[in-house]
Structure 1
Amino acid sequence: MTLWRIRATVDDRPGYLSVLTASLALRGVNILAVQVHTTERGAVDDFLVDAPDALGEAELVAAVERGRGRDCWVARSEARGLADQPTRVLGLANRLVRDPDATGEVLRALLGADTVTWRPDEAASAGITDTTMRLADPGGGTFTLRRAAPEFTPAEYARAQALVELAASVVRRAAEQVTVVLPDGAELAVRPAVADDLPGVLDLHDGCSARSRQRRYLGGAALPAPARLRRLLEPARGLTLLATTTGSDRAAESVVAMANLLGEGDEAEAALLVRDDWQRRGLGSALLRRLVRHADRSGYAALVLHVQAENGPMLRTVRRLDRPTATDRDGSVVTLTVALAAPAPARR
């Protein structure tokens, strides 16, 4: 006996599935598992079967067509196909929890895709088109999956999108609060910002000198509008980190620094604001390195920073990254473009 996978579309009407299974049974085909994918064109039935060795692909296709099936796809299967779909998905989800950077490999294993690519730009429309699937990455960017056959189904799309969202959640959770120890021994908590952090971030700006605010925003020393800060806290693409004094609960925290990473195309812009009494203590370097790691992991090609030419401490902080950096000066502003790791075909 030989294991095969068979996928075929039948009219979503009472009794049609039994006609198909009866046609297979007449040829000694034993159905080990079946999944039904509801689509606009009918029910797509996905079988794992054990067929007599004498039956080949053509005979199986003929049996399906005699059973009122259409758009048939047949392929040899392996013993691992005996695991039911929920068990396989749970196993892949467990792998993502342990290694969220393996998202591309997990998607390939889940759907039998021939290629899985990730790009930092967002797709015009996520969804499926025959044998192409596009998945929105909550962390920014798009996964594109392609396979020769069979066509993707809405059920497969839903499973794949759920796994991508799981990986993004794990990455975000892994990036959540860590304790940073500065060279002078001071300890600070660093975590992603949320909308509720607006009051603390407003206090941070109030506690910064006009010079520090001007260095951060370049256009002036005035306090940014709350609406602008709210957008910075939860950017559509990217990440905002806050450094806070450690306390027993969030209410006791004091925000002493904010680091922003804003994605646009294949580049991400970074900016820092550190309260005056915490400057020159290594905090800016620690935050910038975390932004660089996040940008690397997200597949951006470069990190861009706009720095005032007289802001020596920030220029030195960027140089300490020890990465290839292009410099372009326009009047009093220096634009630094830091090269990042080249994005892989599938994000790992």
Structure 2
Amino acid sequence: MTLWRIRATVDDRPGYLSVLTASLALRGVNILSVQVHTTEGGAVDDFLVDAPDTLDEAELIAAVERGRGRHCWVARSEARGLADQPTRVLGLAARLVHDPDATGEVLRALLGADEVTWRPVPAATRSGIDGMTMLLTDPNGGSYLLRRVAPSFTPAEYARAQALLEVGAAATRRCAEQVTVVLPDGAELTVRPAGADDLAGVLELHQVCSARTRQRRYLGGASLPSPARLRRLLEPARGLTLIAATTGSDGAAESVVAMANLLAEGDEAELALLVRDDWQRRGLGSTLLRRLTRQAESAGYAAMVLHVQAENTPMLRTLRRLSRPTRVQQDAGLLTLTVPLTTGRPVDRSVAGADLPTAVESTG
């Protein structure tokens, strides 16, 4: 038996696919997988088949045509074609996430393209397909031109390729936003936007933090937040979450040592920090606070709000280092600190940053 790929167009009407498959079955052809691509010209059926060694390309084409198929394309296939298509696409996406520079190779593997060319200018014409040519918009800028001898590209293939480019662009943006910071004591950490795949590391961070540290972060208690709540914090609907992690040098896995949340509501954004106990008083809190403040300003928020226990002198000391006007409201043992981020709003200078409750120690 020999593996073949067969692609043919049939009328997109009930029963037409069964006529084609029956014609192949009469010649001992075993269909291993089939994908259906809907087009304006009909349903394009893409088969992976196992055919008797006695059948050649011409006989397979004849069998397709007897089954009311048209625009037939037939080519030998390899054993790797047996891989489940969704699994194969997910594997290519994973490769792209880890190596965004492999975009061209990934597109070639996905579509069996004979030529993949990246151009530094946007597509001069509308992206899409034209027979054996495909033009894709690169979300990072520029465009990709793909060609293959046969068969013609389909809209489904175009959609898959463009979706893969979006995955690669997201990975590239995340790498670009990642920075290495050096703390005053010389320790190096990676600071980057958080994602859903950081859940395990953030769960571990909460587990190793002391009850006092967790209680200062969440105010209401020292219990561990649920995974569902942490997922929402990692990918807020509006705002940003940063994590700081050890660089994982010498083959060691990275370890998340701090999480900083900027959660937006209306024109204000609430900020909160959680720093692992052994990384407190080393400048990390101040580093994260400054980065989130710049992010809040660039996003156009009017003010940044922090809810801090009055006895949390380390956090108050960290906020003082911003040297920004700060409004303070106190309700029993809880302070609400508001840092205006736009110049158009009035600020009560009598409660500016210099008048924050004095801190005697520092996390940042």
TM-score of the pair, normalised by structure 2: 0.52
Match of 2:141 in 1: 140
Match of 1:149 in 2: 150
The letter of the residue matching 1:132 is T
Tell me the secondary structure at the aligned position of residue 12 of structure 2. Answer: coil
Match of 1:172 in 2: 173
Paired positions, count:
207
Matches within 5 A, 1:100-139: 100-123=100-123, 124-139=125-140
How many angstroms does 1:87 deviate by?
Answer: 1.0
Match of 1:295 in 2: none
Indicate conservation of the 8 Å contact 2:7/2:47, yes or no.
yes
Match of 1:30 in 2: 30
Indicate conservation of the 8 Å contact 2:9/2:43, yes or no.
yes
The root-mean-square deviation of aligned C-alpha atoms, in Å, is 3.0
The letter of the residue matching 1:28 is G
Tell me the secondary structure at the aligned position of residue 8 of structure 2. Answer: strand
Tell me the secondary structure at the aligned position of residue 174 of structure 2. Answer: helix
Matches within 5 A, 1:49-128: 49-123=49-123, 124-128=125-129
Indicate conservation of the 8 Å contact 2:4/2:51, yes or no.
yes
Indicate conservation of the 8 Å contact 1:189/1:246, yes or no.
no
Q: Give the Cα–Cα distance (whole angstroms) in 2 for the partners of residues 145 and 188 of structure 1.
A: 40
Mark the CA change 1:175 to 1:251 in structure 2 (over 3 Å): closer, same or farther.
closer
Q: Give the Cα–Cα distance (whole angstroms) in 2 for the partners of residues 56 and 247 of structure 1.
A: 66
Higher relative contact order (CA 8 A, sep 6+): 1
Indicate conservation of the 8 Å contact 1:247/1:253, yes or no.
no
Match of 1:247 in 2: 288
How many angstroms does 1:182 deviate by?
Answer: 10
Q: Give the Cα–Cα distance (whole angstroms) in 1 for the partners of residues 33 and 142 of structure 2.
A: 35
Tell me the secondary structure at the aligned position of residue 6 of structure 1. Answer: strand
How many angstroms does 1:188 deviate by?
Answer: 11
The letter of the residue matching 2:70 is R
Indicate conservation of the 8 Å contact 1:175/1:191, yes or no.
no
Mark the CA change 1:179 to 1:56 in structure 2 (over 3 Å): closer, same or farther.
same
Q: Give the Cα–Cα distance (whole angstroms) in 2 for the partners of residues 251 and 120 of structure 1.
A: 33
Indicate conservation of the 8 Å contact 1:107/1:116, yes or no.
yes
How many angstroms does 1:252 deviate by?
Answer: 4.0
CA shift digits 1:104-132 (9 cap, x unpaired): 00000000000000011011211000000
Tell me the secondary structure at the aligned position of residue 247 of structure 1. Answer: helix
How many angstroms does 1:38 deviate by?
Answer: 0.2
Structure number with greater Rg is 2
Matches within 5 A, 1:159-198: 159-181=160-182
How many angstroms does 1:61 deviate by?
Answer: 0.2
Indicate conservation of the 8 Å contact 1:7/1:74, yes or no.
yes
Q: Give the Cα–Cα distance (whole angstroms) in 2 for the partners of residues 161 and 41 of structure 1.
A: 22
How many angstroms does 1:31 deviate by?
Answer: 0.3
Match of 2:20 in 1: 20
How many angstroms does 1:247 deviate by?
Answer: 2.7
The letter of the residue matching 1:130 is G
Q: Give the Cα–Cα distance (whole angstroms) in 2 for the partners of residues 157 and 87 of structure 1.
A: 18
Tell me the secondary structure at the aligned position of residue 288 of structure 2. Answer: coil
- Deviation larger for 173-182 or 158-167: 173-182
The letter of the residue matching 2:288 is G
Q: Give the Cα–Cα distance (whole angstroms) in 1 for the partners of residues 29 and 93 of structure 2.
A: 32
How many angstroms does 1:189 deviate by?
Answer: 9.2
Q: Give the Cα–Cα distance (whole angstroms) in 2 for the partners of residues 141 and 183 of structure 1.
A: 41
Indicate conservation of the 8 Å contact 2:174/2:192, yes or no.
no
Tell me the secondary structure at the aligned position of residue 33 of structure 2. Answer: strand
Tell me the secondary structure at the aligned position of residue 101 of structure 1. Answer: helix
Give the ranges of 4+ consecutive aligned residues of structure 1 lying more than 2 Å apart after TM superposition: 179-192, 247-257
Mark the CA change 1:254 to 1:107 in structure 2 (over 3 Å): closer, same or farther.
closer
The letter of the residue matching 1:46 is D
Mark the CA change 1:182 to 1:142 in structure 2 (over 3 Å): closer, same or farther.
farther
How many angstroms does 1:42 deviate by?
Answer: 0.1
How many angstroms does 1:180 deviate by?
Answer: 4.5
Runs of at least 5 residues in structure 2 that lack an aligned partner in the other structure: 194-237, 240-285, 299-364
Tell me the secondary structure at the aligned position of residue 175 of structure 2. Answer: helix
CA shift digits 1:222-244 (9 cap, x unpaired): xxxxxxxxxxxxxxxxxxxxxxx
Tell me the secondary structure at the aligned position of residue 122 of structure 2. Answer: coil
The letter of the residue matching 2:75 is A
Mark the CA change 1:35 to 1:254 in structure 2 (over 3 Å): closer, same or farther.
closer
Match of 2:320 in 1: none
Percent sequence identity over matched residues? 78
Indicate conservation of the 8 Å contact 1:246/1:253, yes or no.
no
Indicate conservation of the 8 Å contact 1:187/1:246, yes or no.
no
The letter of the residue matching 1:147 is R
Tell me the secondary structure at the aligned position of residue 96 of structure 2. Answer: helix
